Amino acid sequence: MQVNGSKVLVTGGGSGMGREFTLRLAGAGADVAFCDLNDQGIEETIAAGVGLPGKVIGFKANVAVEAEVVKLIGDAWDALGGLNVLVNNAGIFRDGLLVKKNKETGAVDRLSLAKWQQVIDVDLTGPFLATREFAAKLIENDQRPGVVISISSISRHGNQDQTNYSAAKAGLIADTKLWSQELARYGIRTGAIAPGFIDTPILQGMRPEVLAGVLKGVPLGRAGTPEEIFLAVKFIIECDYFTGRCLDVDGGLIL
């Protein structure tokens, strides 16, 4: 499948890598719908997409809410005249140690169930709901081919302070594999991308000395760029013999 002429839905397209994917896909000739929860982010992405070869349409939706995802898929389908690519990009962090003893009081703090559930809801349940509805829509309309791309993370190997995030991102890899087996009969491929440290607002907000320490372990000695992650998105869309696998784009970093 070529990017040019494809019809794509990107979740979390109001900022960061999601905005990069949305605009670069539209710049390459795809019509792109995206969703986000941030009104300003939605408006900014739409404004940035004006004049690109492909159209850019934004929706407000929470990927963790089933009814909103069902509506999102239907609205995006109607707005673009169909869909054939889904990019599960929306994600959040709620970092914290599983347990931590307070040195002053001796009390043991615990990672809250609320923080666990918030991340699982957005980062794992969200892609499940979006992929389910996307695949069902394609099958109901006998439309093929289709591609589902899920953005995982190097943290899927297990990263300190990220019990919830690591679990969600590891789950995406497992789902990508099994979805490839279940959906191949309908002409739908799947793929995942596991970025390392990428130059997005999250990294840009770090203190210089902290960022330097983070990047010290990267063999290439720098953060990746959103454009470099987009190249992996483009590869998965256009390589018709790729399915069920994860591309690590992490500068060689090993956690």
Instruction: List the catalytic residues.
Output: 165
CB 118 within 8 A of CB 39: no
* 167: Cβ contacts below 8 Å, ≥ 6 apart: 120, 124
Cβ 199 vs Cβ 226: under 8 Å: yes
Terminal alpha carbon distance of the chain: 34
Answer yes or no: are the C-beta atoms of 2 and 11 closer than 8 Å. no
Show the tokens assigned to 76. 């995006």
Sheet holding 188-195, edge to edge: 56-60, 31-36, 7-11, 85-88, 146-151, 188-195, 245-249
Please state the φ and ψ torsions of residue 180, each to the nearest 5 degrees. -60, -35
Q: How far apart are CA 67 and CA 186, in angstroms?
A: 24
Cis before 219? omega within 30 = no
Give dist(CA 130, CA 173) in Å, integer. 15
The answer to whether 29 touches 52, Cβ cutoff 8 Å, is no
β-pair type (108-110, 245-249):
unpaired
